[in-house]
Amino acid sequence: MIDLHCHILHGIDDGAQTIEDSLNMAKQAVSEGIHTIVATPHHHNGKYINERNEIIQRVERLNHYLLQEHIPLKILPGQESRIYGEIMKDYQNGKILTLNQTDKYLFVELPSSQVPKFTEKLVYDIQSEGLTPIIVHPERNSRLIEDPDILYKLVNKGVLTQITASSLTGRFGKKIKKFSMDLIEANLTHMIASDAHNLSGRNFYMQEASGWIASEYGMDMLYMFHENAEAIVNGHKCFKDTPDKVRKKRFLGIF
């Protein structure tokens, strides 16, 4: 498996804090069948600034440690940028990092409780640069849960999304698990990743989530998610079905 979203680089955000943490996370990833991880430290989220060149250097260092420790895992460079108005200016100035430096796919994180008014315009600007924006963990955004049509409109305009393994396994609660299922059923998400931060509360759970997807939606769905992850790190086109709107459940009764 390829894990597109992981905070395995130590000492630069709220993920791994020491090199020992990074190596222990790497061992856990391998035990789950992960052979490649895209390291995606937080950037411009109000707390952390992690720009392109620094990330690339740290990825090279971690790969060196993995070789020394004989851990069969490859780390690729990436970045999880919180949405902000100057993101494309910073991309042009060499501060923003696409996934695996292919200049094809860009992770974008929304605030947890809102979708900024400039999101649609920024998505257009990103696409105008020849990039495809990928909104990370939309299932954990309370505004999108309240109004999933916002996400439908973005996906309908070419945005991709990535849901989190631990959301599907219920570790963020029933509401988020249910919305994750809604997104899969409406073709509003295109890949799964761990967003792992540590080996306690924010572990990988990729193997568990993959088994759950296979049992609930079939192997074709699981293969699509895994093949899209591979396509992204290689800079190739992802597979996506026509998006639908999330159907709101109607309840019978007198109110």
Q: Is the pLDDT of residue 255 over 80?
A: no
Mean pLDDT calculated for residue range 60-67: 98
* Torsion sign over Cα 195, 112, 16, 172: negative
* 199-212: pLDDT as tens digits: 998 999 999 999 99
The DSSP output letter for 101 is G
Cα 19 from Cα 23, distance rounded (Å): 6
Q: Is the pLDDT of residue 251 over 70?
A: no
Q: What is the pLDDT at residue 180? A: 98
Residue 213 in 3-state DSSP?
Answer: helix
Backbone angles phi, psi at 132, to 5 degrees: -110, 120
What the chain holds in terms of domains, given with CATH numbers, is 2-233 (3.20.20.140)
pTM summary value: 0.95
Using only the alpha carbons of the chain, give its radius of gyration: 18
**Percentage of residues in the chain having pLDDT higher than 70:** 97
Cα 12 from Cα 145, distance rounded (Å): 30
- Kindly provide the residue ranges of all beta strands, DSSP E only, lying in 27-179, ordered along the sequence: 36-39, 42-43, 74-77, 80-82, 105-109, 132-136, 160-164
* 216-236: pLDDT as tens digits: 999 999 999 999 999 999 999
* 130-169: pLDDT as tens digits: 999 999 999 999 999 999 999 999 999 999 999 999 999 9
